[in-house]
Homo-oligomer: A and B are copies of this chain.
Amino acid sequence: MKAHTEYLIFNTKEKIEFLNITDTIEGLITKSGVKEGLCLVSAMHITASVFVNDEEEGLKNDFKKWLEELVSDNKKYFHNLTGENNASAHLKRTIMGREAVLAVTKGKLDLGPWEQIFYGEFDGRRPKRVIVKITGE
């Protein structure tokens, strides 16, 4: 069994930003030499997310607006009494998910026609890591 590990670093311009990382992950699978297996892509920070959805600008804005409805930035949070100001980012990332587990088939990401992999940042403007672990043969 092969296991290949990589760490990606993202430093977004905006506090909340969604980056399409599908091509990057595809490249790492080729580099790993794994033909059949699984690929874990996971945020290593707890105010960020890895999720699969559609590459469509309007939908990205719908996600941002909806997350603000479900998790107001302007409420009082216990976490923020510690000096932090990112409680809402922890909750938003929980809705979007920490990780995606992806199938690798014949050396490629085995995704549906519109599936794209995103790094979701909810407390950005600083460098944060994503782990990619590819296992298989």
Contacts and interface: CB of A to CB of B under 8 A. Distances in A.
Contact of A5 (B44, B61, B103): B103
Contact of A136 (B59, B91, B135): B135
B38 A133 contact: yes
B38 A40 contact: yes
Main secondary structure of the interface of A (DSSP, over half): mixed
B90 A53 contact: yes
B91 A94 contact: no
Contact of A44 (B66, B71, B115): B115
Interface residues of A, number: 58
A30 B110 CA distance: 22
Interface string A46-77: 10000111101111011100100011000001
A129 interface: yes
A54 B137 CA distance: 34
Nearest to A132: B103
B1 A137 contact: yes
